[in-house]
Structure 1
Amino acid sequence: MSRITRCELMEWQTAGRSFTLLDVRRAAVRTADAAEIPGARWLDPESVFSWKDSVPRERPVVLYCAHGHEISQGIAATLDVMGLDARYLIDGFAGWRDAGQSTQGL
């Protein structure tokens, strides 16, 4: 399992690199934030074993949770074991937003 910094994710976005961006914050946290990183798709972390097989395998997967700790790291580890190139965003959504990076409303 790998990690990715805010700067690296910004570079991937601006360079048009092909990757899957997944928001795996808990539903209540996501709703309270009322925003997400542009291009992200929300998947309920409580249902990871229901959706894990639907994640595209042909490109890297970047996951973010609220702070880049247990949730995104755990799901990235699960996907990594399945053979995917899975990375979690260091400091999660909070770090992204606090650094003034682009977000969009839900």
Structure 2
Amino acid sequence: MFQHLSIETLTAWIDAKTELTLVDIRDPMSFAGGHIPGSLHLDNDGVPALLESTPRQPPLVVVCYHGHSSQQAAAWLAGQGFADVYSLDGGFTEWEHRLPERVERGHS
């Protein structure tokens, strides 16, 4: 089971340096064009490595374009044993619209 996460809450977590895993499931070009600082690009090829190397306890936040496909990904990841899984409401599109100064460009 996953939960919905507001942009305000994610911003507060990042500002408080809360331990979390932030994964962005958009296509590679979109990710390179801009993403939330600290996020990891995740595609189907990267899933096994994520499952193998990511701790299950810290919150896992899934980001997509508008907050729709991240819900399916979050539900699947919750089924893989992650304790706290969230889908970012509004996705990266809303994040960039509201917080343009908090967008990292290029590969991290």
Q: Quote the offset at 1:50 in angstroms.
A: 3.0
- 2:4 aligns with 3
- Structure 2 unaligned runs (5+)? none
Q: Quote the offset at 1:26 in angstroms.
A: 2.0
1:94 matched to 2:89? The reply is: no
TM-score, scaled relative to structure 1: 0.85
- 2:55 aligns with 56
Whichever residue aligns with residue 11 of structure 2, its letter is: M
Aligned length: 102
- 2:79 aligns with 81
1:65 matched to 2:64? The reply is: yes
Q: Quote the offset at 1:49 in angstroms.
A: 4.8
- 1:30 aligns with 31
Give me the whole-angstrom Cα distance separating, in 2, the residues matched to 1:95 and 1:42. Answer: 18
Whichever residue aligns with residue 82 of structure 1, its letter is: Q
Whichever residue aligns with residue 47 of structure 1, its letter is: D
What percentage of residue pairs aligned between the two structures are identical?
30
Deviations 1:22-80 (Å, cap 9, x if unpaired)? Answer: 1111224334xx11101111111x3365345233212110110111112x111100111
- Structure 1 unaligned runs (5+)? none
- 1:105 aligns with 105
Q: Greater share of strand residues, 1 or 2? A: 1
Give me the whole-angstrom Cα distance separating, in 2, the residues matched to 1:38 and 1:28. Answer: 16
Q: Quote the offset at 1:82 in angstroms.
A: 2.0
